[in-house]
Amino acid sequence: MDLAPSRNDTLLIEAEGGSHSEFHLFTHFQPIFSLAHRRPVGYEGLIRGTDSNGKAYRATELLAKAPAGVPRMQLDRQCRAVHVRNFRRLGNEDSWLFLNVDPYIAVQGLRFGSFAQMLEENGLPAHRVAVELIETPFDDEKRLVAAVEHYRTIGCLIAIDDFGAGYSNFDRIWRLKPDIVKIDREMTRRVTVEPLARRMFAGIISVLHESGALVCVEGIETEAEALCATDADADLVQGNYFASPTTQLQPEHACDDLFARLFRNFRLETAEFYDQRRIRLQPYIAALADAVLALSAGADRASAVRALLDLDCTERCYLVAGDGSQIGASVETEGNVAARDRRLTPIRPVTGTNWQTKPFFRRAIEAPGKVQITRPYLSATGPKFCVTLSYALSLNGSYHVLCADLDFAALAGDDLAFGLTKLPL
Amino acid sequence: MLANPTGPGLHDAFHAASLPRDASYGILVVLLSVTKNPQTRWGAVNMVDLSPPLLLDKYSSRGERGERDEFSLSSHFQPIYSLTHRRPVGYEGLIRAVHSASGRRVDPPELFSKAPRGEERIRLDRQCRALHVRNFQRLGNARSWLFLNVDPQVASESLRHRPFFLKMLQSNGFPVHRVAVELIETPFEDETHLGAAVEHYREIGCLIVIDDFGAGYSNFDRIWRLRPDIVKIDREMTRRVTVEPLARRMFTGIISVLREAGALVCVEGIETEAEALCAIDANADLMQGDYFAPASEVLPAENARSDMFTRLIAGHRSDFAEFQKRQHSRLVPYLAALKNAVQDLSFGAKFQPAVQGLLKLPSAQRCYLIGSDGLQIGANVDAERNVYSHDPRFELMQPTEGTDWQTRPYFRRAIETPGNAQITRPYLSVTGAKLCVTLSFAFEASDGSQQVLCVDLDFAELAGKDVAYGVSSLHT
């Protein structure tokens, strides 16, 4: 295949003294895979260059050579045209081409020649182009919206890059209503090394799904990162673990073995995780059931929950009436009293504290006789992450909910705390 | 007056001066000078005592040509309510400034623009915080949090200057563990430096609060770096949730993900009952806004809003029940048709005729069958009306035989609880174009293998305006 840069793919930079330096521009394509389809559905075009001595330059180094303003804009447009031409030459007839656009240039570019025309001249249908807005601060968000609407009108997909970092935030999602959201690669890195990021990852992706976008996890370099993306229900994945950027496109089935292995490990880990969690929670669920029986038989609260409180990870028990208001104070374990954080004094629960908006209360009341288990969260009553077990029972003819907060870190240990993929800490 | 001086440092320094009558407060004003006190580093300050309850302070700015402008500063406090406790658990200190010469009220951004950076900015920022602490102390609240705004720039630069904050709190007798340091959303290049500044506040015992989450630079990367105890949601988001379907739908998820970060979540800028209901529905921990109580120089009675909360929560409960009933009634025909299809399939019927009835229902878009290994069996069967509505941009995502659904929650949940219908939240299906809701159901096929039948429903068509946005209907 002929990839020799044509005359148009030469970048001329004029130095201050009037001398010129010349760069040859070419494209590296990195495949973007759909997890459900196990094949590339798109390619991101990345610019590379060499100078007359054959020295290689990366995108940032090249862009740094063009000063802000018109030269920068021309270079940006030139890069996109190079990608489109090279992509066409490689003969792919169905995948998306992802093109990076700086928000500033997206706005300014509206005044210059037409992007649609360039696509048409090169025979690439606009509906196969995903315009990717990189994360940079941009003051005039109204004009950015107009620029994005322009790309949408000509038929392109809109992608937001680097979500979760800097200015790539929810306000931009609401303004631009992207079709695809790419997660910041720094987040991808964090999820395997930081418990906090790991815990939130699935939630972040699920919220982005509700925005009506497909979610792409990029910068995947290890199997652990790939498993996290799989577990969090990403739609698209990209990164050197799957395929590095090259001048060629990926054969469609090149990663079949890799995906087969990935999904096999995913299934094994899922099964083991649920097994372990069930084993670990079993004694607490049994003790909760005993406490419920004792309460129904008329035992007083403190003695009914004693065995439950004696278990290692139980922090406190409390009884909530059908209207959501707490009955009496919480019964706390001795170990927990010492662990109290003075900073959280203003929000200690007391009689009458109302739990009716909490999902663990609502779910219990909706399904009496069934144990409900929350995801780990910071309880409004203490400084630690907890998991709440809740159970609706009938006392004196009305529903009550018995709740037990468990210390999540102690319960889960290192192997369960972070979800399916153990942290390589 | 001044029977209750604000701290040992001030006590020595104060000398009474003239007693002008301040019309706006209707009480006597005592001028108090602390300029001779070497302990005091927050500038040339003239404290004005409005005791009880308020202290005034003066800030004098220097213009470019050396001209001076004087502003009189006072504190306002806005209560922050806990939803479960139905009372204020904290108060945010807000600065009010009046241009001394003209008597014109000056907004905080304008005031702070007089001291845009450097030591001048740090001095003004510190002066405001000290004023809030003193005023809050004088109001006699002995258990709530005091929220104090700090510019990230100032927080970070302050580290290089003399330790001010802890000393100021101690000299005012205010316990550090009742202070919540609130970092406002501004771009800040040196985020490692900011991390160090926040660690300083945490070490001395304060709560850490991130302000304006979801807008500009207040993003997840900051949450991971700073590990806040409380996250305040951007007030622009609060406004959007009652007028924009997209924001409304995501609100609950955003709050729940922040709670998983180990933070309490505060929804601020609540001005209407609809916004309050959205915050309640989304399970916010803390709420703040003019709807509950505007910022004022005095604290409202703790139980002043009990009735309002009782009414709101009862209202939410009936809204929620009504919503569930409506949502359920709309799904009933689909669930019934899904069960019929499953029955036919388990008796060995062919796929296309088995799902015919299901696909005739108005919101059904497509049906597909998944094996227990997560791989799709055969092609989709599309509803007739759906065949013509393909989005060309998503053509390549069309699922086929062998497409792998094993990571999807609707597949995983169905396989875990065979015989129960599972319903997703609305999401963009990989086939594009429309938000959909997927119903899934695991059953035993005629050959003894386990299979999952899925049907995608057009969410907008199914939900209509009244159900689409959750419990509180939109204003539009």
- Return the domain boundaries, chain A: 7-254, 280-414
Q: How much is the mean pLDDT over chain A?
A: 85
B427 and B364 inside one domain: yes
Are B361 and B438 found together in one domain? Answer: yes
Percent share of chain A, pLDDT over 70: 89
> CB pairs below 8 Å between A and B: how many?
200
Is the Cβ–Cβ distance between A176 and A161 less than 8 Å? no
Confidence band for B387, pLDDT divided at 50, 70 and 90: low
Task: Give me the pLDDT at residue B44, please.
Answer: 38
* CB-based contact A380 B264, cutoff 8 Å: yes
pLDDT at A67: 75
Of residues A173 and B5, which shows the higher confidence score? A173
Q: Cα–Cα distance between B252 and B162 in angstroms, integer?
A: 43
Touching A: B residues 22-41, CB under 8 Å: none
Determine the distance in angstroms separating the CA of B397 from the nearest CA of chain A, rounded to an integer: 8
Q: Are A388 and A360 in contact (CB under 8 A)?
A: yes
pLDDT the model gives residue A66: 78
Chain A, residues 294-323, CB within 8 A of chain B, namely none
Q: Return d(Cα B220, Cα B230) in angstroms, integer.
A: 13
- What pLDDT is attached to residue B6? 39
A217-226, B49-58, B95-104, B198-207: segment of lowest average pLDDT: B49-58
With beta carbons under 8 A apart, name residues in chain A contacting B405. 36
Among A157, A210, A318, most B C-beta atoms within 10 A, so best to mutate, is A210
- pLDDT the model gives residue A338: 41
> What confidence score (pLDDT) does residue A133 get?
87
Q: What is the reported pLDDT for B291? A: 97
pLDDT of residue B153: 80
CB within 8 Å: A343 and B229: yes
Q: Which of residues 353-412 of A touch B (CB under 8 A)?
A: 353-359, 375-378, 380, 385
Residues in contact with A133: Cβ distance below 8 Å, sequence separation at least 6, in sequence order: A101, A102, A103, A106, A144, A148, A158, A159, A160, A161, A176, A178
Supply the pLDDT for residue A130: 96
Residues 6+ apart with CB under 8 A from A63: A72, A75, A76
* Residue B388: band (very low, low, confident or very high) from pLDDT cuts 50, 70, 90: low
Whether B265 maps to a domain, the answer reads yes
How confident is the model over A273-282, as pLDDT tens digits? Answer: 878 888 889 9
Considering the domain architecture, whether residues B229 and B353 belong to the same structural domain is answered as no
- Asked if residue B249 and residue B119 are part of one domain, the reply reads yes
- Residue whose structure tokens are 């065995």: A307
Do B242 and B338 share a structural domain?
no
Which helix or strand (DSSP H or E) is residue B211 part of?
strand B207-213
pLDDT digits (tens, 9 = 90+) for A322-378: 988 898 888 877 666 545 677 777 777 777 788 887 888 988 998 898 999 887 776
Query: What type of residue is B371?
Result: G
Whether B9 maps to a domain, the answer reads: no
* Four-residue CA torsion sign, B188, B192, B193, B198: positive
How far apart, in whole angstroms, are the C-alpha atoms of residue B409 and residue B430? 14
- Please give the structure tokens belonging to residue A75: 């270079």
Residue (of A177, A173, A128, A182) closest to A149 by Cα position = A177
Answer yes or no: is pLDDT of B35 > 70: no
Yes or no, beta carbons of B221 and A194 under 8 Å apart: no
What pLDDT is attached to residue B16? 29
Mean pLDDT of chain B: 82
- Average pLDDT estimate for B111-126: 87
Nearest to B310 by CA among A358, A348, A402, A325: A325
Q: State the Cα–Cα distance between residues B357 and B333, nearest whole angstrom.
A: 10
Which span out of A100-114, A115-129, A403-417, B376-390 was modeled with the highest average pLDDT? Answer: A115-129
Do B286 and B428 reside in the same domain of the chain?
no
Q: Is pLDDT of A167 > 90?
A: no
* Residue of A315, A317, A337 lying closest to A329 (CA atoms): A317
- Would you call A267 an interface residue with chain B, using a CB distance cutoff of 8 Å? yes
State the Cα–Cα distance between residues B203 and B215, nearest whole angstrom.
28
Q: Are residues B270 and B342 in the same domain?
A: no
Dihedral of alpha carbons B417, B422, B425, B431, sign: positive
Same domain for B128 and B77? yes
Question: Does B13 map to a domain?
Answer: no
What pLDDT does B283 receive?
A: 87
Say yes or no: B255 and B337 in one domain: no
What CATH fold (topology level) applies to the domain A7-254? TIM Barrel (3.20.20)
**Of the candidates A210, A354, A359, which has its C-beta nearest B253's C-beta?**
A210
Task: Give the Cα separation of B323 and B313 in Å (integer).
Answer: 15
CATH of the domain at B435: 3.30.450.20
pLDDT, position B433: 63
What confidence score (pLDDT) does residue A47 get? 92
Instruction: Say if B226 falls within a structural domain.
Output: yes
| Res. A125: pLDDT tops 90 | yes
C-alpha distance from B260 to closest chain A C-alpha (Å): 5
pLDDT in the model for residue A96: 95
Give the mean model confidence (pLDDT) for residues A35-61: 90
Domain assignment present for residue B3? The answer is no
3-class DSSP string for chain A? CCCCCCHHHEEEEECCCCCEEEEEEEEEEEEEEECCCCEEEEEEEEEEEEECCCCEECHHHHHHHCCCCHHHHHHHHHHHHHHHHHHHHCCCCCCEEEEEECHHHHHHHCCCCCHHHHHHHCCCCHHHEEEEECCCCCCCHHHHHHHHHHHHHCCCEEEEEEECCCCCCHHHHHHHCCCEEEECHHHHHHCCCCHHHHHHHHHHHHHHHHCCCEEEECCCCCHHHHHHHHHCCCCEECCCCCCCCECCCCCCCCCHHHHHHHHHHHHHHHHHHHHHHHHHHHHHHHHHHHHHHHHHCCCCHHHHCHHHHHCCCEEEEEEEECCCEEEEEEEECHHHHHCCCHHHHHHCCCCCCECCCCHHHHHHHHCCCCCEECCCEECCCCCCEEEEEEEEEEECCEEEEEEEEEEHHHHHHHHHCCCCCCCCC
- Residues for chain B: how many in total? 476
Judge whether residue B174 has pLDDT over 90. yes
- pLDDT of res. A336: 62
pLDDT, tens digit (0-9, with 9 covering 90-100), for B394-449: 888 888 888 899 888 899 889 988 999 999 888 877 766 678 889 999 999 999 99
- For residue A272, is pLDDT > 70? yes
What 8-state DSSP symbol labels residue B187? -
3 state SS of B82: strand
Predicted local distance difference test score (pLDDT) of residue B40: 38
Beta carbons of A378 and B224 less than 8 Å apart:
no
Q: Report pLDDT for B206.
A: 93
Question: Percent of chain A having pLDDT more than 90?
Answer: 44
- CB-neighbour burial class of residue A8 (10 A; exposed 0-12, middle 13-18, buried 19+): exposed
What phi and psi values does residue A95 have, to the nearest 5 degrees? Answer: -75, 165
The pLDDT value recorded for residue A27 is: 94
CB contact set of A423 (below 8 Å; sequence gap of 6+): A192, A193, A194, A195, A198, A414
Candidate from B220, B229, B281 with C-beta closest to A204: B220
Tell whether B242 and B345 lie within a shared domain. no
Whole-number pLDDT of residue B429: 74
B269 with B288: CB under 8 angstroms?
yes
Tens-digit pLDDT profile for residues A293-336:
999 999 998 899 999 999 988 988 999 999 888 988 888 776 66
Give the residue from chain A lying closest to B404, CA to CA.
A36
Contacts of A263 in chain B (CB under 8 A): 374, 404, 406-407
What is the pTM assigned to this prediction? 0.83
Q: Which residues of B touch A199 (CB under 8 A)?
A: 260-261
Percentage of chain B exceeding pLDDT 70: 83
Is the domain spanning A280-414 CATH 3.40.47.10? The answer is: no
- What is the per-residue pLDDT for B14? 30
- B224 with B336, same domain? no
Give yes or no for A179 touching B (CB within 8 A): yes
Residue B346 burial (C-beta neighbours within 10 Å; 0-12, 13-18, 19+): middle
- What integer pLDDT is reported at residue B465 of this predicted model? 64
* E runs forming strands in B248-334: 264-267, 286-287
**Interchain CB contact of B208 with A (< 8 Å):** no
Instruction: Confirm whether B31 is domain-assigned.
Output: no
Query: Where among B304, B323, B341 does a domain terminate?
Result: B304
Is it the case that residue B8 has pLDDT exceeding 50? no
Check residue A343 and give its pLDDT: 76
Q: Is the pLDDT of residue B11 over 70?
A: no
Q: Of B144, B259, B374, which is closest to A378 when you measure between CB atoms? A: B259
Q: How many domains does chain B have?
A: 2
pLDDT over 60 at A144, yes or no: yes
How far apart (Å, rounded) are the C-alpha atoms in residues A392 and A395?
10
Closest CA to A327 of A352, A306, A302: A352
Q: For residue B394, what is the DSSP state?
A: G
Give which of A158, A162, A175, A200 to mutate to test B binding, by max B Cβ within 10 Å. Answer: A200
Whether B201 and B69 map to the same domain: the answer is yes
Mutate to test the interface with B, among A33, A170, A341, A350 (most CBs of B within 10 A): A170
Q: What is the mean pLDDT of residues B200-216?
A: 91
Q: Please list, in sequence order, all residues whose beta carbon lies within 8 angstroms of the beta carbon of residue B219, skipping any fewer than 6 positions away.
A: A164, A165, A166, A167, A168, A169, B213
Q: Could you give the percent of chain B with pLDDT greater than 90?
A: 46
Boundary residue ending a domain (B264, B285, B304):
B304
> Which residues, other chains included, contact A69 with Cβ-Cβ below 8 Å and sequence gap of 6+?
none
| Mutate: best of B240, B260, B307, B411, partner A, most A CBs <10 A | B260
A21: closest CA of chain B, how far (Å): 33
Helix or strand holding residue B439 (H, E) = strand B435-444
pLDDT at B52 over 60: no
Contacts of A79 (CB under 8 A, 6+ apart): A25, A45, A47, A59
Q: Is residue B398 less than 8 Å (CB to CB) from chain A?
A: no
A168 vs B429, more confident: A168
**Structural domain boundaries, residue B452:** 332-467
In the prediction, which pLDDT does B4 show? 41
